[in-house]
Structure 1
Amino acid sequence: MKVLADIGHPAHVHFYKNAWKCLIEAGHEVVVSSRAKECAVDLLDALGVEHRCLSRQNDGRPQGMGREYVSRLRNLVGLVHAERPDVLTGVGGIFAAHAGVLCRRPSVVFYDTENATLQNALTYPVATRLYVPDCYKGWTPNRRTVRYPGYHELAYLRPKYFVPNRELALLHCGLAPFGDTFLVRVVSWQANHDLGEKGWSETTLRAVVHKLEELGRVVISTETPLPPDLARYVYQGPPEHLHHLLAFCRACIGESATLVSESAVLGVPALYAAETSRGYLEDLQDQYGLVTVLRSTEPKAVCQGISRMLDAPLSDVRDRHARLLENSCDVTETIYGALTAETL
């Protein structure tokens, strides 16, 4: 069979990469469409994955999103007609689902973000099958939804698929040779699920950096240019090596739900500070204590949240992380099974 995977974000590359390998090893064919957003194209190129870039990240305004939607869907429909895949898939999946309807192909959508209300309202009613984590709190179509025990990030960060390399993190990614390293993540807030939201102010970012640099080395992973006085903290390593750095950090602090979740499934405590949360972040907080969810981006509140997180004893983090892995399925196997199901 032939699978077409539509990639719109760097995290989607990681989510699918091991399933692609399993599909190809089993004799299936994989076609990948990509989007020029942050380092998504660079990640695909680094993995040696052939792909067709169909659009570039819009400016985050409704008009820009609308223009990209029309252009990308038109290009994806053309690719489907040319490649004739048996199934389309995507994370969030609006383009895979809509192209599937237009081209009469089944679509399998994976998602975990409840507050992407517009995208979900346009996608879920027409997707052939929707896969969400057990902790997902939003509406889904009952008869076409499959729930699984796990988190997206386990598709690529479960120990079966990822072994962190300390030497690589030291040589190329900015890990401190001695003492603690803290990874800070800021985002552009231009995704469809970011409509009406705003991220950290420069004041908040500076306050976080100044607090953390008293405790160790600070590295900032960012989607947008930083002020000149913070430029020296920017992550300089290859994008495909960021997880090697994260795995050896003392903590991760940021406004990216994905990177915070990645930190947690690696067993690294994390703090998420933003106006809205996610079901999976609250689950990682309530069930395993590996994430602290803070519904504020004010400098004082974020710094106090960091202090509380770092005051918690690390002695049981390893046990909590082990319990998380034990209670979660192999998400890559779930992806493979979903895409090869005979009942689509």
Structure 2
Amino acid sequence: MRALFDVSHPAHVHLFKHAAAELGGEGHDVFVASREKDVTTDLLDAAGIAHSPLTGVCDGRYGTAREWVAREGRLLRLVRRFDPDVVVSRLNPAAAHVSRLLGVPNVVFHDSEFAGLLERVTTPFATVVCTPAGFGRDFGERQRRYEGFHELAYLHPARFEPDPDALREAGVDPDEPYAVLRFVAMGAHHDVGHESLSPADKRELVERLEEEAGLTVYVSSEGPLPADLDDRRVPVPPEAVHQLLAHADVYAGDSGTMATEAAVLATPTARFNPYGDEMGNFHELHEYGLVRTLHGVSDFVDAAVALATDPDAGDRWRTRRRDMLAEKVDVTAYMLETVREVAAA
């Protein structure tokens, strides 16, 4: 089998890395088309996955449009040259369009009900759209639902094991109480019209976790931090962030992805959500009791501090995680089964 993975975002690296590596290890021909965005290529390099960057983020008013037009052209040439049996992507319009044009099956993974235009220009061209069972949209016969979350492709116990030595190598004591915070830049297509935490809000959250809970605070931020918080940036390399999350006493932030990652790792999680609606995966995570989502800043900060000062929170989250895992699948195993089936059809 010849499989091409289109990886255009750091989250896609985590989603597809185990499947790509396993197929390659079985002797299949695997090609990864990457993109110069944030730490995408760094994560691929750290995972030992060979890849070829096709494009990078373009600035300016029409930068995204220019980049994706260029990506479609370069991907078209690549697919003609590599001649894959299947193309695998995460809601990537270029991959879907090129695959349809050349008659190559395209498996799309999708988990956000708020993808808007990106969804409308991608899913009609896909052969198969794989979504979590609780996903709130219907794509007809091409849709396949599975019991899981994207994050269980790389954080399921079959794929991830906490390793305290990985933190010690980065200078972090895994036995020291600490919090992990994540602040997003609110620059994605689904963020338009919404505002998240202000510098003053971030400062209050850090100060209260340090002073009231007695925690060391590590901050991951897409954008600039207030100057007085810059020394709290996470000290581990990007590929070790999940180890940092797994050993944390609490996670708090406005990132949906990292909130889900923390939750499935049994780290007590407080999430700030500036949107009025909710994604299907969070409805499920709320039912399991693995995430507390707040829409007001004061309530969010209070919830984070309450979890950080609750000595029983960790035990509750571990019990709830076991309940969740009993009902969910190893998403990488599901992905491999689907890719093999579609490629052979």
TM-score under structure 1 length normalisation:
0.93
1:279 paired residue number: 280
Equivalence map 1:1-344=2 (5 Å) = 1-59=1-59, 63-137=62-136, 139-172=137-170, 174-175=172-173, 177-178=175-176, 180-214=177-211, 215=213, 216-276=215-275, 277-286=278-287, 288-296=288-296, 298=297, 300-310=298-308, 313-314=312-313, 315-342=315-342, 344=345
Separation in 1, partners of 2:129, 2:109: 6
Q: CA deviation at 1:111?
A: 1.0
RMSD: 1.8
Contact 2:3 2:30 in 1 (8 A): yes
Larger CA deviation: 244-253 vs 186-195: 186-195
Amino acid at match of 1:284: L
Quick one: which amino acid aligns to residue 341 of structure 1? E
Instruction: Give 1:25 deviation, angstroms.
Output: 2.8
Deviation at 1:311, TM superposition (A): 6.2
Change over 3 Å in CA distance of 1:266–1:41 after alignment to 2? same
Distance 1:305 1:58, change over 3 A: farther
Matched residues in 1 for 2:33 and 2:26: separation? 21
**CA 1:49–1:194 in structure 2 vs 1: closer, same or farther (change >3 Å)?**
same
Amino acid at match of 2:250: A
Amino acid at match of 1:34: S
Q: 1:74 Cα shift? A: 1.5
- In the alignment, structure 1 segments of 5+ residues that lack a partner are none
Deviates more, 1:38-47 or 1:194-203: 194-203
The amino acid across from 1:118 in the alignment is L
Bigger shift: residues 246-255 or 161-170: 161-170
**How many residues get paired?**
338
Over residues 193-238 of structure 1, what are the superposed CA-to-partner deviations in whole Å (9 max), with x where a residue is unaligned?
Answer: 2233333211111111111112200000122232221110001211
Distance (whole Å) between structure 1 residues aligned to residue 192 and residue 64 of structure 2: 10
Q: Helix, strand or coil for the counterpart of 1:236?
A: coil
User: Secondary structure of 1:327's match?
Assistant: coil
SS across alignment from 2:150: coil
Name which of structure 1's ranges 308-317 and 248-257 shifts more when overlaid on structure 2: 308-317
Whole-Å separation in 1 of the counterparts to 2:235 and 2:35:
22
CA drift of 1:175 comes to 4.3
C-alpha deviation, 1:308, in angstroms: 4.4
8 Å contact kept, 2:293–2:300: no
Alpha-carbon distance change, 7 to 99 in structure 1, aligned in 2, over 3 angstroms: same
Structure 2: tracts of 5 or more residues without a match = none
Aligned partner letter, 2:282: L
